[in-house]
Amino acid sequence: MKSERQVAIVTGAGNGIGRASAVALAEAGMDVVCADINADTAETTASTGRQHGVDAISLQVDVGDVAEIDAMVAAAVERFGRLDVIVNNAGVTRSAHIMDLTEEDWDRMHRVNAKGVFFCLQAAARQLIEQGGGGRIINIASISGRGFKGTSNAAYSASKGAVISLTKTAAQQLGEHGITVNSVCPGVTRTAIVDEIIGTRARERGVSVDEYLEEFTKDIPIRRANDPEDIAAMVAFLASPAARNITGQSYNVDGGLVTS
């Protein structure tokens, strides 16, 4: 049966920005497919989503596997009869200097952060076009893709730069179908991945986490890192009717850290 509500897929929905985005869309009245490589955390997010009076399901998905991406979209349509929004959030990184990165690092990050985003976008667009057009594609990039000097590593920056570029091209080519494509570029955001990087760098410098965090945030004009909910608010806006004529854009949510 076709859902009377809009339907969204969120990848990497098990924690951090993905979890906050899935919950924000549920709060906005959408049914949500919570996809994550970790089945348990995906279900935790879906359970939270259902508390907002919508239907939410969890799927275990590796977005680096195109067959699993196709199965994810098919499962969403089988359950809800439609798709309206996809948030391509799943991503991986690690803290490393450019000279310490390996081929394995490069392949791992680009498999998830670039290849995964592209094929999720493509699979969602295929379904949206089949439905008659319309819909929203929201990619989670990073200010690292804009040259942020505090990036976790160069391979990660390259993968996120690819997402920003993909967003522009996809918006141009999918616009005729009424599909909008935008990306969100988070700055320093207190997720589990970022907290792990902060801990690593604090140990390397021989300082406490609090001392390193104070140093790390001093260049942010508003003097605070993002919470995942700050990114989710932009995601919810881009998925809303208010953003119907916005496409091909990449929005920094970073407290003013990067201004281009």
Q: So which residues are the catalytic ones?
A: 156
Letter for the amino acid at 16? G
Give the neighbor-by-neighbor strand order of the sheet with 85-88.
56-60, 31-36, 7-11, 85-88, 136-140, 180-186, 250-253
Distance CA 33, CA 12 (A): 11
